[in-house]
Amino acid sequence: MTLASDFKIDRGLGVTAAKGFRAGAATCGIKTSGKPDLAVLVCEVEAAAAAVFTQNRVVGSPVIVSREHLARRSTMRGVVVSSGNANTCTGEQGVADAREMVALVARRVGCEPEALLIAQTGVIGRPLPMDKVRAGIPAACADLAAGCDADAAFAGAIMTTDTVRKQAGTRVALAGRTVTIGGATKGVGMVAPNMATTLSFLSTDAAVEPKFLQDALGRAVGRTFNCLTVDGHTSTSDTMAVLASGFAMQGKAGRRPGVAGLCPGEAGAVVGGTPEGNLFEAALHAVCDSLARQIVADAEGGTKVIEVRVTGAASDDEARRAAGAIANSPLVKCAFFGQDPNWGRIVSAAGMAGISSGPETMRLALGSVVIFERGTPVAADRAALKAVMAAREIAVHLDLGAGRGRARFLTCDLSYDYVKINAEYTT
């Protein structure tokens, strides 16, 4: 069985690393900082498409438009992304503005508006400066290119309060061909599991059957981005989309480039329940895992990357609830910021998650240091425990002693800087 950890991740592989994709970026003036704020990713042909979106009931206009487009078709030509303004709670005008942006890009790319997805991120409740957007779109579409510079431009333009660009990719052999998966993400705050909790865009030159692509994306997100939290707040804009061009498998069985895998059952397309499908899904999972970790590493005000593992639960669902409660607890997160090994906060957070275990069966370790077992604290080596808490990355392992259920969450600490950043976000 191939695992996500078996793949070599290359952070130099971005959204155009896969064959058939080009990207561009521009500065429209949506952001007051004067930094790039508009990005476009385009496939040369119709690509199999899949996406997941926020489950927040307060949803952004771009999510409304993208959901509509994806409900009508299983192939797309690309995505348009803007940052600095979420275009959320902007009424009918906000939806109209999102549709206009898609139409303007479609005209430049040479496709139908419904063949594009749209994503936007930033401040909620402010109308888009459409005069600036209309002027910026031609610039973003003028020099579409592939390569490291184009990848970096795309990854930079989708950032809001991110301090670094975030991208990752890998290569895998499928059906005798080398296939690439590359992607970019953004997100450092307003991040909590309930879809993808960020904006993320993946591209691959594998030939993938659309339904399997959607299913594989959902499972990969469920194990990575949906097990990620910075502050317990699900965004209104969350979007993760993946496009599959099929270019790496072009020429096989007489198929035209870029059409491979668009039809269910087509010979050579990667489908579920096959060795190739399992391998592709594991590679997709690996890329998503890297992107999720990069978000935690850049979390607003964060000084620690914390991996919470819960094992021995009565079920995977119980393990997930316990891990999520620990990862989202402000008390736990503050303790890690202060390098305080306060085990009471950790076990009590798990206990309030509706689990069937009690403290009498629990075992808690920070790093390799056991500090709580079977209802009582353990006298731990203070120097070893101090070293664990001082590290940049900290592993938390809670075994509930009740079964075989397991789950993992990624989180960060809660610092003074997080409060400052979010206290002054719009002022």
Return the pLDDT at 196. 64
| Cα torsion through 272, 277, 278, 284, rounded to 10 | -110
In CATH, 305-423 is 3.10.20.340: yes
Q: Which residues are catalytic?
A: 197
The CATH code that applies to domain 4-297 is: 3.60.70.12
Give CA–CA dist 96/98, Å, rounded: 5
Return the pLDDT at 218. 95
Beta bridge partners of 411: 306
**Closest alpha carbon to 220 in 232, 205, 207, 204:** 204
- C-alpha count within 13 angstroms, C-beta hemisphere, residue 107: 8
Give CA–CA dist 339/413, Å, rounded: 10
For residue 414, with 0-12 CB atoms within 10 Å meaning exposed, 13-18 middle and 19 or more buried, which class applies?
A: buried
For residue 378, with 0-12 CB atoms within 10 Å meaning exposed, 13-18 middle and 19 or more buried, which class applies?
A: middle
Give CA–CA dist 252/51, Å, rounded: 27
Q: Kind of pairing, strands 305-313 and 393-399?
A: parallel
Q: What does the pLDDT look like over 329-366, one tens digit per residue?
A: 999 999 999 999 999 999 999 999 999 999 999 999 99
Identical fold between 4-297 and 305-423: no
Q: What does the pLDDT look like over 158-176, one tens digit per residue?
A: 998 889 999 999 999 998 8
Listed by start position, the domains of the chain span: 4-297, 305-423
Low-confidence ranges of the chain (pLDDT < 50): 252-267
Contact 78, 116 (CB under 8 A): yes
Beta bridge partners of 184: 167, 201
Give CA–CA dist 201/100, Å, rounded: 21
